[in-house]
A and B are shown apart, each in its own frame.
Chain A
Amino acid sequence: MPPVSGRPPARTARAPDVYDSSMPDRQVVVPSADAATIERLLAGDEATFMMLVDQNQPAMVRLAQMYVSSHAVAEEVVQEAWIGILKGLPSFEGRSSLRTWMYKIVTNVAKTRGVREGRSLPFSALAGEHDDPVDPSWFQGPDDPFPGGWRTFPDDWRGIPEDRLLGRETLDHISRALDGMPPMQAEVVRLRDVQGWSSDEVCNALDLTETNQRVLLHRGRSRIRRDLDAYLSEGRDR
């Protein structure tokens, strides 16, 4: 592949710094989009800063909220984190993506604040929800012909018109499902599936192991699927 102009060749200069060689596509240099963003911020470009705020502020406040006692404190934490981010920009090394690094700073500030408030770990955020997004009664029991097999096959969504699938109401169901999830689970799904982050970035930003991240993501997706299925199958013949 020809080199992309203006971008140093990947995986050469700083290869020894790679701390997870099992991830072949990990960036070992500051990705060009991040580098451009940092350059503009350092030059004092307010539009770039406000774009970052628009993209990240709601998620950052939710993230901080997992560690501290109130929404107001979470906002303070994020404000403090932004100042830390700006001050740290000149020394950003690009060992992770810019946004991952930013969220780590939020997590660190929030944790420190949470400890000061006498809160330790976000147990509530990590707790499992009470309802299982996969209902065991969908499957045949031990005395049935095919234990663990479907009792009734799930609905095929392929016949559903695109404008219904993408309608406001469908998307509202997804938002409501996210709002009903334990906070960490919701945040994993929001970052992965709503915002399109990689699992690597999410693990780093939220301080989760790969296994935890995957479990939370799967449960979250399963719950959205269940809620969507209930909505989409309304008024359909089965």
Chain B
Amino acid sequence: MSEQGLTCQEVIELLSSYIEGGLTVDDRRRVDEHLALCDGCTTYLEQMRETIRLSGMVTEEQVPEDEKTALLAAFRDWRS
């Protein structure tokens, strides 16, 4: 690894931006170079992607019935 290469500790802090496509061209290249040589960070990146996928399976909490009733009343009121 070259002197100015990123350390693993630095790379993992860039991974959300990396996944989002939010890095500068330069930073992206440096992360790619690191990932090509580092199994640990590649695994961590996979874990982050999996974390995002699994988070997408979480269901939102239910709205309490009394809140729903109050809002439906407000909606009917607005129409009239």
A-side interface residues toward B, CB under 8 Å?
A: 44, 46, 49-50, 53-55, 57-59, 75, 79, 82-83, 86-87, 134, 136, 138-139, 146-150, 153-158, 165-166, 170-171, 174-175, 178, 189-190, 193-196, 199, 214, 217-218, 221-222, 224-225, 228-229
Contact = CB atoms under 8 A, between A and B. Distances in A.
19 contacts: A46-B72, A53-B68, A55-B60, A58-B60, A59-B60, A79-B74, A82-B74, A83-B78, A86-B75, A134-B13, A146-B7, A153-B40, A156-B46, A166-B57, A171-B58, A193-B55, A214-B17, A214-B22, A225-B48
Interface in B23-80: 39-41, 43-44, 46-48, 50-52, 54-63, 67-68, 70-72, 74-76, 78-79
Given A44-B79, A154-B44, A79 B71 contact: yes
A138 B7 CA distance: 12
B43 A154 contact: yes
A87 to B, nearest CB: 7
Contacts of B3: none
B8 A148 contact: yes
Given A156-B43, A174-B54, 17 more contacts: A46-B72, A57-B68, A75-B67, A79-B71, A87-B78, A148-B10, A155-B47, A156-B46, A193-B52, A193-B55, A194-B60, A199-B22, A214-B22, A221-B48, A221-B52, A222-B12, A225-B51
Task: Tell me what chain B mostly uses at the interface: helix, strand, loop, or mixed.
Answer: helix
A171 B47 contact: no
Contacts, number: 129
A14 B51 CA distance: 39
Contacts of A229: 47
